[in-house]
Amino acid sequence: MQSNIFLINLDFHKFQIERTPYSEEKLQELRANHNETHSFFRNGDYIYISNKEDETDSPLGESVELSFDNNERIVNSLIKHLFFRTFKDRFSYIKPIRFSPFMFYSGKERDDLVYAYLPNNLKNVLSYRKHIEVQLRKFTLHGKNQWGFVINTSHKWLLDVNCYELHTKGMDIIGLDVLQTEELPGLSNIMAPNEEFIGSIQSIEGEYAKVVTSDGIEEIQLTELFLKKTTYNIRAFLESMLNSDKVEQILSNVRFEEQKRLDPEKEYLEINSIAKLLFISQGYDGINSVIFQNRDGFCFTVSNIPFSPENTFKLQSPNFIFDPAATQVESKYPDLGLKNFGPYDSHIFDPKSPKIIGICHKSNRGKFTNFLHNLISGIPDSKWFKEGFRKKYDFHEVNIEVNDVSEYSIQEYDKIISSLIEKPDIVIIEIPERFKKLKSELNPYYKLKAKLLTLEIPVQFVQDKNLAIRNGDAILNAIGLQMYAKLGGTPWVLPSARSVDRELIIGIGHSIIRNSEYKGAEQNRVVGITTFFSSDGQYLLSNKAKDVHFDNYFQELLKNLNEALNTLQENQAWKENDTIRLIFHIFKPIKNIEHDVVQELIKNFSRYKIQYAFVTISKKHPFQLFDTSQPGKKSYYGSDVIGKYVPYRASNVLIDESACLVQLLGVNEIKTAKHGSSNPILIRIRKPLNEFGQELESEELFTDIQYIVQQIYSLTYLSWRGFLPSEQPATMLYSNLFSNLLGKLRKIEGWHPDILNFKLKRKKWFL
């Protein structure tokens, strides 16, 4: 197994560095007078000084000796500054676009995927260039601190024309999103200008544009504005210069080139070639490692061979359990277990004879009623959906009433919903595919969902294109599973942890409400979302906290968790002195707020012994894994080989004592070359931080990384959106679905989100 990490060689444990007491005035003075030769950065109460070029060696502060162990942030800063200055010395013709993580564009013609398809007058004006990112990361390998650079590549649009030039050439730029450029002080010849997304152009008067910003309407010179490089804006630019057929051909060619670039083997080779460029030099005496050093003796080299991590362990796929006594078990496919045993909670599930209302367009009534018949009664020659929804989920009968509308409008749907005499258990609604393209506040999909959820009725939507699809048993099978979960059912569970400790797994999501996406937009309100699971994966309940000002998020989240734990301690009969293990799965922590909340929670439930862990589960990280011995497989859709160099599902690497990479979309799960390289998820146990960013220890922390990784891996088999394992554990998937839907529904007039904290809190309405 290989990675995209290139380890840094540091052959000493202590180093000399100058420093001087911090003040903002002193920092500005030093940078103004010595920025050509020195680097300056603040850490705590001091400004630290790295002399890279000044041969006079005139001291600018006191010299101190520091060790690596207690000064990680200083070491980080030194490495970043020495890398940056050495890069600028070696590649003076390149202007980096960001310092940390370090980013720059390739200037080579072959790395511009649109170059060959543009007319001569647009070459190098518009480009789709290779974007290279180099991140510094710290690891703990074999109990020792280790630093490394993580390299990634992508391609991004560049448009080297300001809005004044576009306007004078006749392009209509009214209504388009724009960036404002700003030269960073003292860095005009060193770094590319900074770009900020500030708003959209409302009107143009002479050489000025009126721009809608987060602070209202502002007048800004057109020469300072550039189009935001969205696909929509790039298309608009091309259409202003070329005929529409030519534009489509260019964009189609770029998509084809992008797909070829995403080949994992090519990406692996590309990353390695960049590492050689950055970390190896060729001089008169041969090929040598580049030495990154300053005049105080701090120096390092970087390996140009990718790190091959070996610290791994075997992850077990879970069994699937279909009865409370755990005697009905299926080891491979949950669908086979449902077929043989029925759902886990069949003996207690209510209602056993659900009432369903179906709503369709009258022109599709024939197809819709056939679809419903197949859904309820099954398809006789199907492998997985022969019994249909009624028998597969052990219902006595399923009562369906079908209504039709004359047009796809909220008014027509609303007439039927408002005329209901008896409340149904679930509603199935046929909608056109075009609804997907509408804004959420205008979309009947979200208006209908808001209406029905307000009535505490879950809803299942079916797109019109899926009504008559041939061999549609896979779609029917997934819809049946989702409907059973939305009705409050538990199709299957996982083996529970064999432990004397009680355990809850809690997914915490939060949605920050912004006034706009523009620079400076206030992020003033937070919505907290919690989903609760038992250790065997049973969905217990969900809670939505009120929308609160950011300053009140702590109290609202604490209240939310207190209420949930009070409910669960009664339902599960917790006893005094029980050890309660709370494992929180969280997308992105807000500073130390969640840790502080749990400390208060421990005080409130002092009759129990509470242990806890905060775990982040992320796909947005820089790490990649490559299995260079993996030959790939033939595509389902042709003879092309796909998945070369992609590791198998469950491949994993411990990158330190609290973090692990796990491959969830492996070579066997890849269906098409469009997947490209498949990134692992990063699982990390988060500890509270002090003011200097150092981790704090606590006796209440649960830090068994292998236990937590296995648990998360098992929970990826528990998504009731479908039968295949997911790329996220159910805890995070459900919290994300919950928060994303809330974000859409809040734009619907008349929506009251507090309704979700009543009868729907135990149902998976968000699937």
User: How far is the C-alpha of 570 from the C-alpha of 567, rounded, in Å?
Assistant: 6
Beta bridge partners of 218: 211
**pLDDT at residue number 47:** 93
Count of C-beta atoms within a 10 Å radius of residue 200? 18
Closest C-alpha among 576, 575, 578, 598 to residue 586: 598
Closest C-alpha among 52, 55, 58, 48 to residue 22: 48
**pLDDT at residue number 400:** 93
Residue pLDDT, tens place only, 322-344? 998 889 999 889 999 998 999 99
Closest C-alpha among 340, 322, 358 to residue 462: 358
How buried is 141 (Cβ within 10 angstroms: 0-12 exposed, 13-18 middle, 19+ buried)? Answer: middle
**pLDDT at residue number 114:** 94
User: How far is the C-alpha of 382 from the C-alpha of 387, rounded, in Å?
Assistant: 9
Q: Tokens standing for 312?
A: 């791994």
Contact indicator for 97, 104 with CB cutoff of 8 Å: yes
Closest C-alpha among 257, 266, 261, 270 to residue 117: 257
Q: Tokens standing for 733?
A: 């998937």
H or E stretch covering 616: strand 609-618
**pLDDT at residue number 527:** 57
Q: Tokens standing for 352?
A: 């056993």
SS3 290: coil
User: How far is the C-alpha of 739 from the C-alpha of 544, rounded, in Å?
Assistant: 9
**pLDDT at residue number 680:** 93
Domains annotated on the chain, with CATH: 2-302 (no CATH), 350-486 (3.40.50.2300), 502-619+683-741 (3.30.420.10), 624-679 (no CATH)
Q: Which residues in the chain come in under a pLDDT of 70? A: 184-188, 283-286, 470-471, 497-500, 509-530, 539-551, 588-591, 636-639, 673-677, 689-696, 757, 761-762, 767
User: How far is the C-alpha of 543 from the C-alpha of 530, rounded, in Å?
Assistant: 5
**pLDDT at residue number 68:** 83
Count of C-beta atoms within a 10 Å radius of residue 350? 11
* Beta sheet of 299-302, edge-to-edge order: 102-105, 126-141, 144-159, 5-9, 299-302, 292-293
Alpha helix locations (H) across 513-631?
553-571, 593-604
Closest C-alpha among 652, 719, 709 to residue 685: 709
Residue pLDDT, tens place only, 408-423? 999 999 999 988 888 9
Tell me how far apart the 2 most distant CA atoms of the chain are, in Å: 90
**pLDDT at residue number 187:** 66
The phi, psi pair for 84, rounded to 5°, reads: -60, -50
Q: Tokens standing for 358?
A: 């179906």
Contact indicator for 230, 158 with CB cutoff of 8 Å: no
Q: Tokens standing for 337?
A: 């277990």
Angle separating helix axes 553-571 and 593-604, nearest 10 degrees? 40
**pLDDT at residue number 638:** 65
**pLDDT at residue number 148:** 95
Q: Tokens standing for 253?
A: 């060619």
Residues in CB range of 40: below 8 A, 6 or more apart: 27, 30, 31, 34, 47, 48, 49, 50
